[in-house]
Chain A
């Protein structure tokens, strides 16, 4: 096992997994609290459509993934704000439309392109040094934004109307959150793939949610669980020669079910002493 760690590709994979795991689990806190789970899943598929178009046209895949991802989340946010349609309906339509586009773009390709499928299923073990640098830069950027605006993001996740009423620029913060979700998804695409990326966003935060009643503790738990599961998943996948994406996600799922069993929220506690 220690031999494995001496390989360059293995070191790159572990670093990529740690960054993606940390990033996804951090943004996941706000996604879970604000109820944007489905938005993220839709964004992942939209970004994949961007990748497919990029390979069809010979354009840079990461750039198109970002463009497709951003367009999808911004339309979703705009529709929610207008209140003309329920969020799950609009994202459902965008989700399937972009997936149809992806299938169409792949169908138009004259030859089988395994790299496109790499984005669908993910393979952290094949991350190149250049991809690692891009992932690193985007991770620093997204985490920096979350750090700068964490208090506003917490407030809109808890109660967006109240945040607006008390002087927080809630609308702009909501669009910032959507943008960060899209960037996170794109960063993680190559590592865990479009299908599984959202498990990385949802599961660590949902696991942490079971374990605490405090916002700040929730964030730290989610971050630790996200990084630990991603790194352990990559090691297990190398050790047992199984695909890395499913290894990370299934390991996270096991941890999630364990957290449910030990959750202090599982049995309702008696109410705090009433003085009213």
Chain B
């Protein structure tokens, strides 16, 4: 299916890391427009490195990375603005004086460029983004007064306010209760379908995404497997990657025990 899609992110034998430390080695992977990709792998497997690379914040040490047909190290701010990013959930200072609408409007800043001030059109786009995540009623609420799940929705709205082509989410369900986790993933799936966004979702929670993604990318400092979930989620592959952390139950449910130990 992916062969019909226009490629927008192309890794070509790309390696990433710092001098002496390779975090992700010899990655060859093409992500097409409108795909929903789930990126999985144990701790330290290079998932966050992949995020940084897709954001154009980390140029390959070897090989090539093209984003929107632009070599990664030539990526300008306006290219970067086409990638809506939800970082790993940090602790939000409850007292930080910022309203929900102000937070979402910040998503416009990169795309607007310097010297321009947010105007009516920007606020309208921000409000539309809030409506997409169902938070429009809270536009004047202080960000710090929202629950963790609501804050996550607001940050997704901030990414949407960029009017991105790609939505990149780094562990979007971490630290949320189980119902909220489902709601957030459902929201991402809904945005993927309704807005036709390319979604790259990095997660530890294989169960949560296995039925929703087009392709899974399994990393362990290199590309271990990539393809439709049924092809990647095979007991022998997973056992090789996760070792004894993996439990396969009778119902074929996959549980990775180190779920709670992931780094921030």
- Which A residues form the contact surface with B (CB < 8 A)? 33, 148-152, 154-155, 158-159, 161-169, 209, 212-218, 265, 268-269, 271-272, 274-276
Contacts and interface: CB of A to CB of B under 8 A. Distances in A.
Interface residues on B, range: 35 or more
Contact of A163 (B109, B112, B179): B109
B19 interface: no
B215 interface: no
Nearest to B106: A155
Nearest to B78: A167
A155 B62 CA distance: 33
Contacts of B142: 213-214
Interface of B: 55, 57, 77-81, 83-85, 87, 90, 94-99, 102-103, 106-107, 109-112, 114-115, 117-118, 134, 138, 141-142, 144-147, 149-150, 153, 158-159, 162, 179-180, 183
B110 A218 contact: no
Contacts of A276: 147, 149-150, 153, 179-180, 183
A158 B179 contact: no
Given A162-B85, A167-B111, A274 B150 contact: yes
Nearest to B134: A275
Contact of A165 (B55, B95, B114): B55
A154 B87 CA distance: 18
Nearest to B117: A151
A209 B180 contact: no
B97 A271 contact: no
Given A214-B97, A276-B150, A165 B85 contact: yes
Contacts of A216: 102
25 contacts: A151-B118, A152-B109, A155-B106, A159-B90, A164-B57, A165-B55, A165-B83, A165-B87, A166-B84, A166-B106, A166-B110, A167-B80, A167-B109, A167-B162, A169-B114, A209-B97, A214-B97, A214-B99, A214-B102, A215-B98, A216-B102, A217-B97, A271-B146, A272-B150, A276-B153
Closest 5 CB pairs of A and B: A167-B110, A213-B142, A167-B81, A276-B149, A167-B80
A24 B138 CA distance: 33
Given A151-B112, A209-B95, A272-B145, 17 more contacts: A151-B106, A152-B109, A155-B109, A161-B87, A162-B87, A163-B109, A163-B110, A165-B55, A165-B83, A166-B159, A167-B77, A167-B81, A169-B114, A213-B99, A214-B97, A214-B102, A272-B146
B94 to A, nearest CB: 8
Contacts of B114: 148-149, 152, 169
Nearest to B150: A276
A272 B96 CA distance: 16
Given A166-B162, A276-B179, A158 B147 contact: no
A271 B145 CA distance: 5
Contacts of B134: 275
A271 B147 contact: yes
A72 to B, nearest CB: 26
Nearest to A162: B87
A93 to B, nearest CB: 26
- Chain B CB count within 10 A is highest, among A33, A163, A168, for A168
Nearest to B180: A276
B109 A213 contact: no
B9 to A, nearest CB: 15
Nearest to A275: B134
A109 B146 CA distance: 59
